[in-house]
Amino acid sequence: MSINLSALDRPNSYIGRTVPRPNAPRLAEGRGTYVDDITLPRMVHVAFYRSPHAHARIGRIDAEAALAVPGVLRVFTGRDIAAVCSPWVAVLAHLKGLKSAPQHAIAVDRATWAGEPVAAVVAESRAAAEDGLAVLEVEFEPLPVVAEMETALDPETPLIHPELGDNLAFRRVHEAGDPDGAMASAAAVVEATFHTGRHTGVCLEPRSILAAYNRAENQLTVHHSTQAPHMIQTVLAKHLDMPEGNVRVICGDVGGSYGIKVHVYPDEMATAAIAKIMGRPVKFVADRIESFSSDIHARDHRIKGRLGVDAEGRIVALEIDDLTGIGPYSVYPRTSAIEGNQVVNLCGGPYDFANYRARTTVVLQNKTPTCQYRAVGHPIACAVTEGLVDLAAEAIGMDPVEFRRRNLVRDDAYPYTSAANMRFEGLSHHQSLAKLVEMMDYDALRAEQARLREAGIYRGIGIASFIELTNPSPFMYGIGGARISAQDGCTVRLDPDGSVVALSGVTEQGQGTEAMLAQVVAEGVGVPVERVRIITGDTQVTPYGGGTWASRGAGIGGEAALQAGLALRANILEVAGAMLQAAPETLDVIDGEVVEKATGRARMPLGELGRIVYFRGDTLPKGLPREMVATRHYITSDYPFAFTNGIQASLVEVDVETGMVRLLKHWCVEDCGRVINPLLVDEQIRGGIVQGLGGALYEHCVYSEDGQLLTANMADYLVPMAAEMPDMVVAHVETPTKESLLGAKGAGEAGTAGAPAAVMNAINDALRPFRARVTAMPFTPERILAALGRIPERRF
Amino acid sequence: MKGASLAYARANDVSHALELWRRAGPDARLLAGGQSLLAGINLRLNEIPGLIDISRIGELRGVADLGDRLRIGALTRHADLQADPLVAAHAPAFAQAAPLIAHAAIRTRGTIGGSLAYADPAAELPACVLALDAEIVLRAEAGERRVAAENFFLGLFETALRPFEMIVAVEVPKIGPNRRHAVLELARRSGDYAMAGLVLAADVAGGRLHDVRLSYFSMGPAPVLARGAMAALDSDEGVEAACAALGTDLDPVADLQGGPEMKRHLAGVLLHRAVAGLLGHSPVSGGNHGRG
Amino acid sequence: MAEAEFSTLVEVSLRVNGERVSRRVEARRHLIDFLRLDLGLTGSHAGCEHGVCGACTVRVDGEIVRGCLTLAAQLDGADVWTIEGLSDTGEVRDLQQAFVARNALQCGYCTPGMLATCADLLERSPAPSRAEIREHISGNYCRCTGYEAIIDAVETVAAARRAATGQVAIGQATIGETAE
């Protein structure tokens, strides 16, 4: 039951149209309201003393000198905070065997990574709080550090949490078919080891929270830069021992999140706890340096992969062995096992094969905790799969495009269940591939590549097919016991002047949620889009929902908004029918007017209907329902997850003398189901691609052997900047999900999922004449020169 | 990330600045463009009790034609070097180097004097003054002295500046009719500190280089003259011989971008390209980062 | 340091967005904190406070600077313009409209600094190539857009401004040009 666009193709038909974002002009004029822009009376600032050691016992904390600093008000230790804020353990019941240790908002007794909060200084200004930190005395007794994930499980490696028995957080093995038999019979087996490099999100607006506690009402109001206000409300209520209704989380403008701001952070919990203790508003805005060691990291994986193909170039078996280090704790409440689990679920995802063995091993270590970050696990699985696919194509002497044609799941094969047991409702790999090949003029590029090679210019073309998991059902978190809503809701209200207000549980992080919702609601109710006002990000007023993650804003939040809009329209028509002495089914709402459905003749503007309903209700029949507000919730139920798909291509030029890679151009064809706002979708794709390109070429959290982060500033942690990024061509195939009326599946992560693999394959294509290959991200000049044999290899 | 409290004083002229500095003690710092200093202050990297703001001292700003030399005031900004016609005509290496320094909004404040005094081994301008055989004009309350660029850079962030002594200008010989400059660097991204960089100055005549000066940056604790390679090029032994000489000229140290082997390798690649460029075989000068 | 001329608090008088402002500021306070905390001009953002991200880019005496690498104490007599002032005068209205139309901003956090940088480019270079635009904003980090929409928006405004002043458009960069 997907929406029929032609039936809705009328003056206020907005689905599929580029509509400007209502909140963009405000941001372009610098008139947004990010958390740090808010000042409350008697507000104080907290700054955290962070462990300089990767692992250490915390000794005496002497606050005397800090408390003497002008402006400093209080100093809190882990025990002080633990008195009002209970610790948490991030496990999920359905991830069998996942274990972690209780984590406190401020470390008690032991610091387990360099950057973990061990004390808090509260002062009248951030500067004064830092003055206090500078003279706070904390004694440490350094403990042995577990830094290297490869040896984390060795018997001689010390245990981070002795009570857990080992440093293994989680292991999953999945097997389908007969991988050994298939490998044995394969015409060719290729193998490689990939490293994806530890990344972090580097949201330009750092993590920010302003918590205010009203003792008289036992009311906690939290202004928070977050993706999931209701989840945070629930978590704060639980760990500060308050009723959920007494915790209000307000999420105004958010300066980027990408998954970084969907987790529970110890320093943010401590800030709320301090607000409760002090009875004053407390602000914490992470500075950039502490962001690098306290924002979650991600993607620290080593994956060994083997792919077997038959003589016709058909994939017969895939084997992967994934290892990832997640820091000392699984991150609350989503856990840090999901990324490895996703690698198992997603490897080989685009391809039709039956024999699969996958293992992920998730180990603890004394580094910044890792957790879900944009396109969780996807860029890893995609790089491994596509890297092996290109190797296999080369091994049997087949063009990589032809190899994919032979192996991608057929477009008419759906519903299809993958070797990893993922159920796909409908994907369009072949249509996407065909479109990509045409769009990039693949054959001409190959010809140009050959010509330039003669002149000593080494260009490479890399292709990467991908699937993207979106719109999760409770199978992602809820069934494991996490109080994370997979459902979302929307309330749509007609105001007396005929304008519409919609309140949604999904949130705006800059990706255009509010524009998307306005379009959907305008179409659902039948009003001009500029008559719709969207409210998000306030747990006290919006329906309870999951917020923004896993590309669920349009697919889940959008469907709830559409259903609510349609419900309000039905309510309006019922009242209009009574007013106009007509059967409601003969009327419609178009462009803000009640009209005769058959002729389109205008009968009554919504402003007139609103006036009568709200101010002259006496003129309506007694007992007539007059609900000018409707709320609908939506949850997916036919499939545990929706899946989208797509394919990317990268054209690079490698300077084989310097090892430098120039990104010349990038292409992406993706299928996010129904495209609601083409411009916003395209820019999600582009932004996502560049985030992936950053991981491929630049971004890396490099650690010393003793667990010190060596790239803890923006001069050393290299993010993608404008000068090096390519122009990107984006196109779409639309395979709407039949599960919802709207048919949207989500587009937030597709770009990031495929870009690193495409670049890796392009670089290796360029290096092919030298029989050189790189598989460890980021692909730095040093690594490429080492692969070319021009310099010796150096290990990080 | 807020700097520690510190004291500030604005200097009216050079002697006032020096007087303020003496009174504030040796740990006080001169604030010129502040583009490295203020980042360090925000990060609380050093304890700095006081700042003497010299940024408004008019006598330290601007480029003057002294006949056979140019005098570049210490407060001349990177943006000025980029745009100044005297610099472009007579000391083009500075004009070539300036756009490679960080980004537009930093070049409007960063100064040549600040860059030389800070002596970051990855910075372009110290290598420029080295290759261009410039003199650094220093002033203390006792008077003025001049230090040849070759004797100015002593080590990691270490210079010949004495306590309470400041840079007032750089004096650089004007290029002759056959003299060419090339500034080449390899940086991960535009505006980043280079993985490797060089400044090459030479007379070009008869299809070869003469009177070669070659300096490297990002190749060790301080900018360095590659004397062996200079000699090899002077005696027309060829670029390969010059590259071989780099093996002893350079003693690079590893950083996050790469180990010494990579830096040595890139030094050779850059030299090939710079020489080819000066001889007119290929375009020359500029940053090579992965720009698409 | 008790000498009269040194002080941890400094009196400054300057113009911000065309209005006279006099304040006593801590010597350590950088321009962005001064704008945000002392003047309530929260449109300027601090993204890294070590001079790398460009979010704090504002105009001082006609040139763009890093607000986090400039002390308020240095700005006695200066003429400072922030996104609020540039919006109120309408000076960057065309850029803002092009950014909105092209969706060249998402979260908006980098946008004030990005607009200041783009306005600076167009003032100096009426017909920048795409590569020149990319180079000029190469010190302004944007995590959301991937930059291409920003390049497009600036190109559009440059062309519109040229058309308005009767200039003829010149060519654009294409891929495959030699990096330089």
How sure is the predictor about C166, in pLDDT bands with cuts at 50, 70 and 90? confident
Contact residues, B window 16-45, toward A, CB-based 8 Å cutoff: 43-44
Q: Residue C83: its chain A contacts at CB < 8 A?
A: 29-30
Number of CB atoms found within 10 A of residue B196's CB: 28
Residue A93 is encoded by which pair of tokens? Answer: 């019941």
- Which chain B residues are closer than 8 Å to A779 by Cβ? none
What is the C-alpha to C-alpha distance for residues A239 and A222, in angstroms, rounded to an integer? 14
CB–CB contact B35 C139 (8 Å): no
Beta strand extents in A404-526 (DSSP E only):
416-417, 423-424, 458-470, 488-494, 500-504
Domains observed in chain C: 9-87 (3.10.20.30), 92-164 (1.10.150.120)
Provide the token pair at A729. 């061509």
Return d(Cα A288, Cα C52) in angstroms, integer. Answer: 11
pLDDT > 90 fraction of chain C, expressed in percent and rounded? 88
Residues 6+ apart with CB under 8 A from C164: none
How does residue A773 score in pLDDT terms, banded at 50, 70 and 90?
very high
Cβ within 8 Å, pair B109-C65: yes
Instruction: Compute the C-alpha angle A257/A501/A260, nearest 5°.
Output: 5
Chain C CB contacts of A206 under 8 Å are 47
Q: Which residues pair with A325 in a beta bridge?
A: A363
List the subunits that have 3+ CB pairs under 8 angstroms with C: A, B
CB contact under 8 A, A726 and B290: no
Instruction: Flag if C179 and B288 touch (Cβ within 8 Å).
Output: yes
**Nearest-CA neighbor of B171 among B54, B104, B72, B102?**
B72
Report the 10 Å Cβ neighbour count for A762: 29
Q: Which residues contact A782 (CB under 8 A, 6 or more apart)?
A: A659, A791, A794, B257, B258, B259, B262
pLDDT over 80 at B242, yes or no:
yes
Pair type for strands A247-250 and A219-224: parallel
Residue corresponding to tokens 């974002």: A21
Could A665 and B292 be called an inter-chain contact, meaning their C-beta atoms sit closer than 8 Å?
yes
Mean pLDDT of A188-209: 98
Neighbouring CB atoms inside 10 A of B161's CB total 18
pLDDT for the residue A793: 85
The verdict on C82 touching A (C-beta cutoff 8 Å) is yes
Q: Which residues of C touch B49 (CB under 8 A)?
A: 1
Q: Read off the pLDDT of residues A332-354 as tens digits, 9 standing for 90 and up.
A: 999 999 999 999 999 999 999 99
Confidence grade of residue B289 (pLDDT, cut at 50, 70, 90): low
CA dihedral C111, C114, C116, C118 (to 10 degrees): -130
Q: Which residues of B touch C179 (CB under 8 A)?
A: 288-291
C3: pLDDT strictly greater than 60: no
Query: Is the pLDDT reported for residue C52 higher than 70?
Result: yes
* Contact predicate B214/B200, CB 8 Å: yes
Instruction: Please give the average per-residue pLDDT across A5-31, as a whole number.
Output: 83
Sign of CA dihedral A116, A120, A126, A129: negative
| pLDDT of B89 | 97
C38 touches chain A (CB under 8 A): no
- What would the mean pLDDT of A657-685 be, rounded to a whole number? 97
- Please tell me the distance in Å from B223's CA to the nearest CA on chain A: 20
Torsion of CA C155, C161, C163, C165, to 10 degrees: -150
Instruction: Judge if A24-32+487-634 and A297-474+638-787 fold alike in CATH terms.
Output: yes
Pairwise CA distance, residues C117 & A685, whole Å: 25
Q: Which residues of B touch A286 (CB under 8 A)?
A: none
Chain A contact partners (≥3 CB pairs within 8 A): B, C
Angle formed at CA A197 by CA C50 and CA A647, multiple of 5 degrees: 105
Does residue C102 sit at the B interface (CB-CB below 8 Å)? no
Q: Quote the CA–CA distance of A173 and A226 in Å, as a whole number.
A: 34
Q: Is the CB of residue C28 less than 8 Å from the CB of residue B4?
A: yes
Structure tokens at A694: 């950053």
With cut-offs at 50, 70 and 90, classify the pLDDT of residue A783.
very high
B101 touches chain C (CB under 8 A): no
Q: Which chains touch B (3 or more CB pairs under 8 A)?
A: A, C
User: Could you report the per-residue pLDDT of A497-542, keeping only the tens digit for each?
Assistant: 999 999 999 999 999 999 999 999 999 999 999 999 999 999 999 9
Q: Can you tell me the mean pLDDT for A393-422?
A: 98
Please say whether the beta carbons of B9 and C5 come within 8 A.
yes
CB pairs under 8 A between A and B: 96
The neighbouring-strand residues paired with B200 are B182, B214
d(CA B169, CA B94): 14
Q: Is A112 helix (H, G, I), strand (E, B) or coil?
A: coil
Q: CA separation (Å) from A705 to A710, B69, B258?
A: 10, 51, 17
Contact A344, A337 (CB under 8 A): no
**Identity of the residue in A27, A256, A288 whose CB atom sits nearest the CB atom of C49:** A288
Residue A796's pLDDT is what? 56
Question: pLDDT of A617-643, one tens digit each?
Answer: 999 999 999 999 999 999 999 999 999
pLDDT band of A764, cuts 50, 70, 90: very high
* Distance of residue C99 Cα from the nearest chain B Cα, in angstroms: 21
Asked whether the predicted pLDDT for residue B18 surpasses 80, the reply is yes
Chain B nearest-CA residue for C121: B104
Beta strands in A149-255 (DSSP E): 168-176, 188-195, 199-200, 208-214, 219-224, 247-250
Q: Which residues pair with A77 in a beta bridge?
A: A119
pLDDT of residue B283 exceeding 70, the answer is no
Nearest to A660 among B5, B44, B288 (CB): B288
Task: Give pLDDT tens digits for B156-188.
Answer: 999 999 999 999 999 999 999 999 999 999 999
Q: What's the confidence (pLDDT) of residue B281? A: 74
- Cβ-based neighbours of A276, under 8 Å, separated by 6 or more: A84, A211, A213, A220, A240
- Of A103, A102, A104, A106, which Cα lies nearest the Cα of A138? A106
- pLDDT for A475-500, tens place per residue? 999 999 999 999 999 999 999 999 99
**What integer best gives the mean pLDDT of chain C?**
92
Residue B286 has pLDDT above 70, yes or no: no
* C48: nearest CB among A27, A37, A288: A288
- Taking the Cβ of residue B257 and every Cβ of chain A, the question of whether any pair is shorter than 8 Å is answered with yes
Chain C residues with beta carbon closer than 8 angstroms to that of A748: none
What mean pLDDT comes out for the span A687-698?
A: 98
Interchain CB distance below 8 Å, A255 and C49: no
Summarised one tens digit per residue, pLDDT across range A536-565 is 999 999 999 999 999 999 999 999 999 999
Q: Do A256 and C109 touch (CB under 8 A)?
A: yes
Give the integer Cα–Cα distance in Å for A172 and A296.
22
Name the interface residues of A facing B (CB cutoff 8 Å).
Answer: 125-127, 130-131, 134, 287-290, 655, 657-665, 697-698, 702, 710-711, 713, 715-716, 718, 721, 723-727, 780-782, 785, 790-792, 794
∠ CA A262-A268-A269, rounded to 5°: 100
Which residues from chain A sit within 8 angstroms of residue C129, using beta carbons? none
With left for phi above 0 and alpha for psi between -120 and 50, is residue B119 left, alpha or beta?
left
Domain boundaries, chain A: 24-32+487-634, 35-143+203-294, 297-474+638-787
Say yes or no to pLDDT of C180 above 80. no
Instruction: Identify which of B8, B106, B191 has the shortest CB distance to residue C6.
Output: B8
Work out the number of other CB atoms within 10 angstroms of the CB of residue C98: 23
Taking CB atoms and an 8 Å limit, are A713 and C48 in contact across chains?
Answer: yes
Q: What structural domains and CATH numbers belong to chain B? A: 7-53 (3.30.43.10), 65-173 (3.30.465.10), 179-288 (3.30.390.50)
Pairing state between β B153-155 and A208-214: unpaired
Cβ–Cβ of B288/A721 closer than 8 Å? Answer: no
Two tokens, residue A278: 């002090």
- Is C63 in CB contact (< 8 Å) with chain B? yes
Beta-carbon contacts of residue A118 (< 8 Å; ≥ 6 apart): A48, A49, A50, A51, A58, A61, A77, A78, A106, A107, A111, A138
Kindly list the distances between the CA atom of residue C141 and the CA atoms of A610, C65, C144, C148, in Å, as whole numbers in the listed order. Answer: 47, 15, 9, 13
Burial bucket for residue B18 (CB in 10 Å: 0-12, 13-18, 19+): buried
Among B2, B5, B8, pick the best mutation site for testing chain C contact (most C Cβ within 10 A): B8
Contacts of C137 in chain A (CB under 8 A): 722
pLDDT tier at C167, thresholds 50, 70, 90: low
Distance CA(B116)–CA(B114), nearest Å, equals 6
Nearest to A53 by CA among A134, A146, A174, A130: A146
Q: Report chain B's C-alpha Rg in angstroms.
A: 19
State which fold the A35-143+203-294 domain adopts.
Aldehyde Oxidoreductase; domain 3 (3.90.1170)
Measure Cα distances from A287 to A117, A202, A712, B227, C45 in Å.
14, 11, 11, 45, 12
Closest chain B residue by Cα to residue C132 = B291
The yes-or-no verdict on residue B95 having pLDDT over 70 is yes
Percent of chain A with pLDDT over 70: 98
Q: Are A759 and A691 in contact (CB under 8 A)?
A: no
Indicate the residue of C5, C117, C131 with minimum beta-carbon distance to B104: C117
User: Among A588-597, B56-65, C1-10, which is the least confidently predicted range?
Assistant: C1-10
Per the DSSP assignment, residues forming a β-bridge with A191 are A306
Name residue B30's beta-bridge partners. Answer: B52
Residue A607 has pLDDT above 50, yes or no: yes
Preferred mutation among C58, C138, C140, C141 to probe B, highest tally of B CBs within 10 A:
C138
Cβ atoms within 10 Å, residue A765: 24
Cβ(A660)–Cβ(A518) under 8 Å? no
Query: Quick check: B105 contacting A, CB < 8 Å?
Result: no
Give the tens place of pLDDT for each residue, A269-301. 999 999 999 999 999 999 999 999 999 999 999
Residues with Cβ within 8 Å of residue C160, at least 6 apart in sequence: C94, C98
Closest to A664 (Cβ–Cβ): which among C45, C135, C176? C176
CATH number attached to the domain at A24-32+487-634: 3.30.365.10
Contact A794 B262 (CB under 8 A): yes
Kindly state the tokens that stand for A455. 């002149």
Has residue A6 got a pLDDT over 70? Answer: no
Residue B39: closest C-alpha in chain C: C50
Q: Does B47 touch chain A (CB under 8 A)?
A: no
Q: Residues B279-284: contacts with CB within 8 Å, 24+ apart? A: B279/B204, B279/B207, B279/B208, B279/B209, B280/B204, B283/C178, B283/C180, B284/B182, B284/B184
Tell whether domain A297-474+638-787 is in CATH 2.60.40.1220: no
Describe the strand order of the beta sheet including A660-671 as a list of residue ranges.
A458-470, A642-655, A660-671, A727-732
Cβ contact B84:B95 at 8 Å: yes
Is the minimum CB–CB distance between C149 and chain A shorter than 8 Å?
Answer: yes
| The predicted structure's pLDDT at residue A795 | 67
Residue of A nearest to C39 (CA): A37
- Partners of B1 on chain A (C-beta within 8 Å) are 130, 287-290
* Chain A nearest-CA residue for B291: A724
Tokens standing for residue C31: 């321009």
Strand A727-732 versus strand A660-671 pairing type: parallel
What is residue A7's predicted lDDT score, i.e. its pLDDT?
46
Selection from A235, A422, A418, A164 nearest residue A315 by Cα: A418
Distance CA A733, CA A721 (A): 29
Are the beta carbons of C28 and B291 separated by less than 8 Å? no
